Amino acid sequence: MILKLLLVIAVISIVYFMFIKKKPSVTKSSKKKSEEASEMVECTTCGVFVELNETILSNAKYYCSKECLAKAK
Show me where the domains of the chain are located: 2-72
- Per-residue pLDDT tens for 37-65? 678 999 999 999 999 999 999 999 999 99
Q: How many CB atoms lie within 10 A of CB 32?
A: 9
Residues in the chain: 73
Task: Name the DSSP class of 19.
Answer: I
Of the pLDDT bands very low, low, confident and very high (cuts 50, 70, 90), residue 30 is low
Q: Say if strands 40-42 and 49-51 run parallel, antiparallel, or are unpaired.
A: antiparallel
The pTM is what? 0.50
